Amino acid sequence: MSQSTPTATPTLASPAPVNNVNITMVCTPDGINFKHSGTPTWEDKSNNEDGFNIYVNGTLIASIPANSVSYNVPQGSSMAAGIASIFEVEAFNAAGQAAKKSVTRGCP
Contact 32, 81 (CB under 8 A): yes
Rounded to whole angstroms, how far apart are CA atoms 65 and 53?
9
For the whole model, what pTM was predicted?
0.87
Q: Which of 77, 107, 104 is nearest to 88 (CA)?
A: 104
Per-residue pLDDT 10s for the chain (108 aa) are 567 777 776 789 999 999 999 999 999 999 999 999 999 999 999 999 999 999 999 999 999 999 999 999 999 889 999 999 999 999 999 999 999 999 999 988
Radius of gyration for the chain, computed over Cα atoms and rounded to the nearest angstrom: 19
- Rounded Cα–Cα distance for residues 108 and 104 (Å): 13
Which pLDDT belongs to residue 16? Answer: 98
